[in-house]
Amino acid sequence: MMRTKATLGSIFHQLLERHYGNPSFDAEDIFKGVEARWRDRVMEAGGDLQQMEGILAQAYPLFLGYAAHYRKKDADKEWLQLEGVFDVQWNDYRLRGRCDGLYRDKSGKVWLLETKTKSRISEDTMTCALNFDPQNLFYILAKEQETGLSISGVLYNVIRQPSLKQKQSETKEDFFDRIGKDIAERSDHYFMRYEVKYTERQKREHRAELICKLKEFEAWCGGKMPTYKSECSCQRGWACEYLEACATGKLVGYNQDGVLFSELLED
């Protein structure tokens, strides 16, 4: 049974796991294997096969373009882990998550790989935001705790989702072919990387902040702290799905659908 909704991001993560795990394999062969697997999952779950075909049609030129674009740059990476779920104890708290990759570069330094597929990218603010990105620092903390290695930073691997629109007179086949040509012609537009180094001081500051947040969350779970409302988010261009809950102080009528943290499920 299909446990999670298929997205371009989840498919691309599987493609990269197989790509880096089998560097001698042809990129097209890797795609065919993953493609068949996702089709089977959709059919078994009675999902929308037409929607899946559209996602795969975009993933195909993106993945082949990515593999060609970074072939030389990635050749000197020694992969230590790929798509590994971590589950470690730190200061009496359990830290869980899934990392895209952990590798050693040619100088011997260890880095995390964090891949994101994005439809919109703000290059002007990306570098500043990554300087204190909580996910990156959380993963570094957990992986250093798990492996005992000192991690220099994160290679933030961004794949831009195609934004081209299908023309009225254009068939789906022609549309996806045009996407592939655009990716091939503008690879620097679709594939970007940010090498983000984190100092020991930044790591210490993150750990100090994290322990405060965990203690506060623990107190909230135990009923020792009230539930704070994010009032600034209540009157924007879209309605928050929890607006009624905040107004009434009750969660009546709310249900948790699907699996929480599905990325931690092993296939």
Q: What is the pLDDT of residue 263?
A: 63
Q: Which residue has the higher pLDDT, 180 or 236?
A: 180
Which residue, 152, 154, 157, 156, is CA-closest to 108?
Answer: 152
For the stretch 15-29, pLDDT in tens is: 999 999 998 899 999
Are 144 and 151 in contact by the 8 Å Cβ rule? The answer is: yes
Could you tell me if 46 and 97 lie in one domain?
no
Could you tell me if 83 and 208 lie in one domain?
yes
Give domain status of residue 145, yes or no.
yes
Q: Which residue has the higher pLDDT, 5 or 87?
A: 87
Could you tell me if 203 and 131 lie in one domain?
yes
Q: What is the pLDDT of residue 257?
A: 65
DSSP 224-265: SS-----GGGSSSSS--TTHHHHHHT--TT----S-TTGGGS
Could you tell me if 148 and 108 lie in one domain?
yes
SS3 assignment, position 92 = coil
Q: Which residue has the higher pLDDT, 131 or 122?
A: 131
Q: CA-to-CA distance for 13 and 28, rounded, in angstroms?
A: 15
Q: CA-to-CA distance for 92 and 90, rounded, in angstroms?
A: 5
Boundary-marking domain end, from 33, 53, 73: 73
Q: What φ, ψ does residue 135 adopt, rounded to 5°?
A: -65, -45
Q: Which of 8-12, 31-35, 114-118, 227-231 has the lowest mean pLDDT?
A: 227-231
Could you tell me if 100 and 206 lie in one domain?
yes
Helices (H), the chain: 8-21, 27-45, 49-69, 123-130, 134-147, 172-185, 187-190, 200-221, 243-248
For the stretch 196-240, pLDDT in tens is: 999 999 999 999 999 999 999 999 999 999 888 887 878 777 778
Q: At residue 59, does pLDDT exceed 80?
A: yes
> Model's pTM, two decimal places?
0.84
Domain hosting 94: range is 78-160+192-212
Q: What is the pLDDT of residue 206?
A: 97
Q: Looking at residue 129, which CATH number applies to its domain?
A: 3.90.320.10
Q: What is the pLDDT of residue 262?
A: 62
Q: CA-to-CA distance for 235 and 11, rounded, in angstroms?
A: 35
Q: What is the pLDDT of residue 1?
A: 35
- Proportion of the chain above pLDDT 90, given as a percent: 58
Give domain status of residue 235, yes or no.
no
Could you tell me if 83 and 139 lie in one domain?
yes
What integer is the mean pLDDT of 260-265?
Answer: 63
Q: At residue 130, does pLDDT exceed 80?
A: yes
Q: What φ, ψ does residue 227 adopt, rounded to 5°?
A: -90, 115
Are 192 and 149 in contact by the 8 Å Cβ rule? The answer is: no
Q: CA-to-CA distance for 85 and 266, rounded, in angstroms?
A: 8
Boundary-marking domain end, from 73, 88, 120: 73
Average pLDDT, the chain: 89
Q: CA-to-CA distance for 257 and 5, rounded, in angstroms?
A: 12
Could you tell me if 64 and 86 lie in one domain?
no
Q: What is the pLDDT of residue 265?
A: 64
Q: What is the pLDDT of residue 49?
A: 85
For the stretch 228-255, pLDDT in tens is: 888 787 877 777 888 888 888 887 877 7
Q: At residue 71, does pLDDT exceed 80?
A: yes
Q: At residue 152, does pLDDT exceed 60?
A: yes
Give domain status of residue 169, yes or no.
no
- Proportion of the chain above pLDDT 70, given as a percent: 93
Q: At residue 3, does pLDDT exceed 50?
A: no
